[in-house]
Amino acid sequence: MSFFFTLLLTALIYIRPQEYVEAIKGWPLVDYTAAACLAGVFLEGGFAAAKLKRSPVPAMLLFFWIWIGLSWLPNGWLGGVTGKFIAFSPVAINCYLIILTIDSFAKLKTYIWTLVLLCSFLVAEAMVQFYTGVGLTGSTGIQQKGVDQAIGVGIFADPNDLALNIVPLTAFLLPAFHRGLMSRGWLPGVVLLAPFVNAIILTRSRGGLLGLASVAWMYLRSRAGMIIAGVGVAMVLALMTAVPRFESIDTQESSARARLDHWAYGLSLFKSSPIFGVGQGNFIDAGSYTHTAHNSFILVLAETGFVGAFLWVGMIFCSFKQLRAMRLDDRAPPWVENFCHSMETALVGWMTCAFFLSQSFKPLLFMFMAMAVAAMNVVSNIGAEQIVAWDGKLALIIAGLTVFMIIFMHLAVRFLFNM
């Protein structure tokens, strides 16, 4: 029953009936469901401390969750502390449900299929909306500079955000990754892959198309090596120039130039409050600024300071570290290799898209990180114990990566402004 709670909460995060069903419009459905599901898991006895100790990610997520609230302390508004803690609760609770309730490969595969099928709902919404003018939920697309773009509903009601939430799931549909992990053959993955790619194209999201290219690169690299992967991605990017808006990528183009302004502003906010940040969700309100960061690292850095960025980068780094450890373990069952390749590819696709978007606190990244922890627990339960220990060396590596990213973004802004 506890696993059903996990599937239910994930489904509500994606389908979001409270956004378009009149009878329940505006209800905090996801928030109430998250609290009820967590209570259900505890009452059923689904809590097992060992599942939270094999990886630093669960503890880092808890500290990150708390820090999101504490980032409002310098603003002197205690309501912001509790409000932001509560607002992030569904995302955090969903992660803990994934870790606590997925205890077998069958459940892990079921959860991946659930994500794919829920993403198929977004894909169908985008395609029906683009070709008929009105989506399944009654949504309508947008038009920018004469170009039609498909959107979703709620947290997906932006073409770029919609693309970001589709791109990573394509990793699980690629033939060699799909076979042996989600199906006995590759055909089901290929059948779904075509509409997924089509939906990404219909968003006309340049970040989404670059994310799709990064997924292709990761796949080809694992199958055929670096050189062929490079050639393949170059061909993909050449074909993508036929997609409206993609051919206009240029640092002097208005939207690209605006992004540089947003990045520079975010770095200035970080300088003004380097420890706590300006408060999660306060990027716009902090100084009457009317745009978000359009870069997930800049956003988490500006809003939660160095501590928040350290925890956020650390969770991503530990996820990759866990996946690599499992993939290289000879004791691991056969499905692990395809799972790890798919997850690494999905994370790279997400990060590529997120470099141009403000997705730091949205659910999908945290779902992936929780799935990596859950997979560690599953593999450990069948005799191939997996542990990624927290120590001073790991902390220094994560701190170094965080500092590197700050310096990199600063230099990138200066360089691109002068191009």
pLDDT of residue 154: 81
pLDDT of residue 385: 85
Torsion angle of alpha carbons 169, 149, 14, 379, nearest 10°? Answer: 10
- List the Cα angle 131/137/140 in 5-degree steps: 50
CA distance 168 to 188: 17
Alpha helices in 133-205 (DSSP H): 159-166, 175-178, 187-203
- List the Cα angle 291/297/303 in 5-degree steps: 60
pLDDT of residue 248: 56
Nearest residue to 154 via CA among 131, 132, 121: 121
Which tens digit of pLDDT belongs to each residue from 119-169? 999 999 999 999 999 988 888 888 877 788 999 888 898 999 999 999 999
CA-based max dimension of the chain: 59
pLDDT of residue 367: 98
CA distance 333 to 198: 34
pLDDT of residue 242: 67
Structure tokens belonging to residue 102: 């997925």
SS3 147: strand
Low-confidence spans in the chain with pLDDT less than 50? 251
pTM assigned to the model = 0.93
Size of the chain in residues: 419
pLDDT of residue 287: 60
